[in-house]
């Protein structure tokens, strides 16, 4: 049973560019969240999607946007990239209605902005 | 707002030593508490969880007890192995979406 799958694994972009990261949740999971993990820090919540809608958003600017598709997969888009956006981006999923279940995380996309 | 504080690392232990990583939290309501582990170059893996006061989560020899009176969820293991070397994150599930709020992580290095 595949877990959470993220693509690409690594990415290098130039300041000002736009990037799209992709995530396929674990089978049976329909709620997807995205986190940003800067080097040496704990992950920070970006937003959560359920039923193709953004349900909650963390303290991130509007340059960060997302989408969830009918098959529950999700994309994270970041516009006008800044050097400070360099980080590991983690996707996590869980079944809806199971707040205490704990999230399953993917291996992440390492984004480097130069 | 809700927050999690972990003891600073790195923590360096010899194999078979006893491990404690301290974690305290601030939250409204009664959050679920989690420990995640991150091996080099990988994502996070759920290690254990507790959903209410006095619950004890356990997995792979690791244990943590949800202490509401001290707002703590300390991670313990009686005898660590080299393979336990990793970064450990304490987290709480916040609000009606259960978003996770993480501590800053504690690096554990176990030497043979």
- Dump pLDDT digits (tens) for A84-100: 999 999 999 999 877 67
Q: What is the reported pLDDT for B12?
A: 97
pLDDT classification of B7: cutoffs 50, 70, 90: confident
CB pairs under 8 A between A and B: 61
A70-105 exposure pattern, b = at least 16 Cβ within 10 A, e = fewer? eebbbbbebeebeeebbbbbbbbbbeeeebebbbbb
Q: Which chain B residues are closer than 8 Å to A90 by Cβ?
A: 43-44
Q: Which chain B residues are closer than 8 Å to A43 by Cβ?
A: 44, 89, 100, 102
């Amino acid at each position: 049973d595949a877990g959470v799958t993220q693509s690409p694994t690594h990415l290098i972009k130039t300041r000002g560019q736009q990037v799209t990261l992709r995530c396929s949740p674990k089978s049976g999971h329909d709620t997807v969240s995205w986190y940003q993990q800067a080097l040496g820090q704990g992950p920070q919540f970006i937003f959560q999607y359920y039923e193709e809608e953004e349900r909650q958003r963390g303290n991130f600017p509007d340059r960060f946007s997302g989408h969830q598709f009918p098959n529950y997969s999700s994309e994270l888009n970041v516009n006008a990239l800044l050097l400070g956006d360099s980080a590991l981006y983690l996707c996590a999923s869980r079944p809806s209605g199971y707040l205490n279940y704990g999230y399953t995380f993917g291996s992440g996309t390492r984004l480097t902005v130069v | 707002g809700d927050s999690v504080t972990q003891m600073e690392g790195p923590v360096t232990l010899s194999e078979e030593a006893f491990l404690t990583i301290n974690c305290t939290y601030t939250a409204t309501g009664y959050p679920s508490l989690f420990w995640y582990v991150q091996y080099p170059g990988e994502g996070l893996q759920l290690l254990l969880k507790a959903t209410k006061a006095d619950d004890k989560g356990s997995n792979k020899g690791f244990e943590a007890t949800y202490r509401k009176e001290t707002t703590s969820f300390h991670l313990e293991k009686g005898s660590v192995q080299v393979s336990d070397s990793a970064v450990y994150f304490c987290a709480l599930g916040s609000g009606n979406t259960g978003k996770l709020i993480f501590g800053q992580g504690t690096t554990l290095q176990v030497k043979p």
